[in-house]
Structure 1
Amino acid sequence: MVSVLTARVEELEHDREKESKEFVVLEERVKSTENESYYLRKRVNLLETQQAISMSNQTRANRAANAYSGTTAFYYYLDQPITNPSEENTIKFDKIILNEGDAYDPSTGKFTCKTAGVYVFIWSMGEVAHGDVYTQLKKGGDTVGWMITGDTLYATSSTKSAILRLNVSETVYVKISYFESAPTIWEKQTSFCGFLLG
């Protein structure tokens, strides 16, 4: 009888030791799982933050692109009078009032289309009582507008406009085509502007 009980005790102690070891293994697995879960949560948070930043940057880029594509307008006038104009001379309007879209270059006097569409252009010429000035609005090498300004007795000014369809990279500018006597171009009355029709 004693031997049976002893065997039973030993069996129970063996089972308890085995269960204790299994419990330790389970505890370690639980801790490992918790650690993995913690690092996975951190990784998910990091990826979500990066995605939010990327989407925010893309939204700003899209807004900037849309703002640019919808806003093309410029307005310049002469800063100094032209006392000795020459024929076939492109007028370089160099005093900026507005240049949204940065399509007009005062160093060349030319507007270069960046967004295809229909544009309105207006140019004005002033002359200080010394003769006549003939100007043309040019689209690339083609003349699309004409204007005469001047008088030998009185200071005068004239304004003309044109509506043009432009493709990307096409240029528009104002050119002196002819003059009589010795005209002086009146700077503050001489301007060039244009804008993209919405």
Structure 2
Amino acid sequence: MMSDTKLAVSNFADMFVDMREKITDEKLKRGDEEETFKTSFEETRKNLTSDIEAEKEKLFQLQGKLEQPPIAFYAHLLKGMLLDTSNEVLKFEKTFTNEGSGYDTSTGLFTAPVGGLYQFSVHTCARQDNFAYLGLVLEDNVIASDSNYGDKSHGCNTFGAIIRVRSGEKVWVKSTSSASNRQLYHDFYRMNTFSGVLVSY
């Protein structure tokens, strides 16, 4: 009888030990799962926070761009002009449009108030029996050029470029070939103009 009781007690003790080990294993397993969940959650939270901050920065930049005034100018050369001076800058003396105040009539230079993609256009007329060789210049580099001859009448041409300009860079029109038979013509029907507009940032 005592032997049976000892056996029962031993079996119960073994069962208790097994049970405790199982409970301990389960706790450890749950603890690992909980730790894994916490780690995963923290990584996700950090990534989301980083993404949100990046999107906020993009929105702030976009807001700043939307608040920028439009940049555009349209200038007119009021008289005929003899192109007998090497690399002479054409000074278009009157502006019909000068949004952003980038064009300076006293120098003939357009200074980009902001960086971006700009479109420039030059329309000029050569006096009859004269030539006009002109270039559109960005920071001393000719980016577009034109040759024109007033054959039997005063001939007009248009040329231009679309180019990225950094803030503070200058754009102008100059003569690329100078001589006594190089001359622009102006009258009521023929206007020499220089224009530019910011297309996108």
Cross-structure match for 1:153: 152
TM-superposed deviation, 1:184: 3.0
The runs of 5 or more residues in structure 1 that have no matched partner are: 1-62
TM-superposed deviation, 1:71: 0.1
Q: TM-score by structure 1 length?
A: 0.62
TM-superposed deviation, 1:130: 2.7
- State the distance in 2 between where 1:168 and 1:132 align: 34
SS at match of 2:157: strand
Cross-structure match for 2:197: 195
- State the distance in 2 between where 1:123 and 1:112 align: 16
Q: How many residues align?
A: 135
What letter matches 1:190 in structure 2? Answer: N
Q: TM-score by structure 2 length?
A: 0.62
- State the distance in 1 between where 2:148 and 2:161 align: 17
- State the distance in 2 between where 1:141 and 1:91 align: 14
- State the distance in 2 between where 1:177 and 1:84 align: 9
Q: Which of structure 1's runs of 4+ aligned residues deviate more than 3 A?
A: 63-67
Contact 1:130-1:181 at 8 Å conserved across structures: no
What letter matches 1:196 in structure 2? Answer: L
- State the distance in 1 between where 2:119 and 2:139 align: 16
The CA RMSD measured in Å over matched residues stands at: 2.1
- State the distance in 2 between where 1:64 and 1:191 align: 32
Contact 1:122-1:159 at 8 Å conserved across structures: yes
What letter matches 1:133 in structure 2? Answer: A
Contact 1:110-1:171 at 8 Å conserved across structures: yes
- State the distance in 2 between where 1:137 and 1:177 align: 10
Contact 1:130-1:183 at 8 Å conserved across structures: no
What letter matches 1:192 in structure 2? Answer: F
Cross-structure match for 2:80: 81
The runs of 5 or more residues in structure 2 that have no matched partner are: 1-62
